[in-house]
């Protein structure tokens, strides 16, 4: 099964972020927008994982979670990877970058002994809002950039778990389900 480690948001926060970014979706149809129910922050993409390995990954995540306290975060500005001139991914940023980067680094390190390849790129805290379908025309890129200049309201939430997720491709895109929700609880907190 196809898997990844994520930070999931409370449903009301996902819905609010989705509503807050309606102006982006109205700016272009050249982006495959993420449904509200699928908004999350990926800490680590794992890829194919056997049913047997799920318990090993869960145990590794429990070790990581015991060293990390819950993290208060807020959404920030809108952005694009690599930029709005040639966007591939449209996102909203998140505060708590140092804590989330440390969490992602420890998740990455904990899964390496299980044969999961280490990440080559450093973690950047963000929620993917959409992926550009192909080459974006200059007019569409400008329209998207102009729409992104309108900052959405800050939405706050507390990251209390790291979740091992299963991704299933289906009609209308990927469906995600939680295989294991591991509570953050640094010893002494």
Q: Is 136 helix (H, G, I), strand (E, B) or coil?
A: coil
pLDDT of residue 63 exceeding 60: yes
The catalytic site residues sit at 40, 126
Q: What is the pLDDT of residues 64-115, one digit of tens each?
A: 999 999 999 999 999 999 999 999 999 999 999 999 999 999 999 999 999 9
pLDDT of residue 188 exceeding 60: no
For the chain, give percent helix, strand, coil, nearest 5: 30, 35, 30
The mean pLDDT of 164-187, rounded to a whole number, is 90
Q: What is the pLDDT of residues 8-52, one digit of tens each?
A: 999 999 999 999 999 999 999 999 999 999 999 999 999 999 998
pLDDT of residue 172: 74
187 pLDDT band, cuts 50/70/90, is low
Q: Which two tokens stand for residue 59?
A: 């145990």
C-alpha 64/C-alpha 15 separation (Å) is 29
pLDDT of residue 189 exceeding 70: no
Q: What is the pLDDT of residues 119-163, one digit of tens each?
A: 999 999 999 999 998 888 999 999 999 999 999 999 999 999 999
Boundaries of every domain in the chain = 2-183
C-alpha 63/C-alpha 142 separation (Å) is 45
CATH number attached to the domain at 2-183: 3.90.1140.10
C-alpha 21/C-alpha 92 separation (Å) is 9
Q: What is the 3-state secondary structure (H, E, C) of 54-101?
A: HHHHHHHHHHHHCCCCCEEEEEEEEEEECCCCCCCEEEEEECCHHHHH
Q: What is the pLDDT of residues 44-57, one digit of tens each?
A: 999 999 998 999 99
């Amino acid at each position: 099964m196809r898997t990844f480690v994520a930070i999931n948001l409370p449903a009301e926060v996902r819905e609010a972020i989705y509503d807050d970014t309606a102006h982006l979706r109205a700016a272009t149809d050249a982006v495959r927008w993420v449904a509200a129910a699928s908004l999350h922050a990926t800490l680590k993409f794992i890829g194919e994982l056997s049913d047997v390995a799920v318990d090993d990954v869960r145990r590794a995540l429990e070790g990581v979670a015991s060293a990390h306290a819950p993290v208060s975060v807020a959404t920030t500005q809108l952005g694009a990877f690599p930029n709005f001139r040639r966007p591939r991914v449209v996102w909203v940023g998140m505060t708590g970058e140092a804590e989330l980067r440390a969490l992602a680094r420890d998740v990455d390190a904990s899964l390496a002994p299980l044969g999961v390849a280490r990440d080559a790129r450093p973690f950047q805290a963000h929620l993917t809002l959409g992926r550009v379908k192909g080459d974006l025309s200059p007019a569409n890129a400008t329209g998207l950039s102009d729409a992104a200049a309108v900052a959405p309201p800050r939405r706050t939430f507390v990251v209390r778990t790291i979740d091992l997720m299963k991704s299933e491709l289906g009609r209308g895109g990927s469906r995600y389900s939680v295989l294991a929700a591991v509570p953050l609880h640094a010893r002494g907190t």
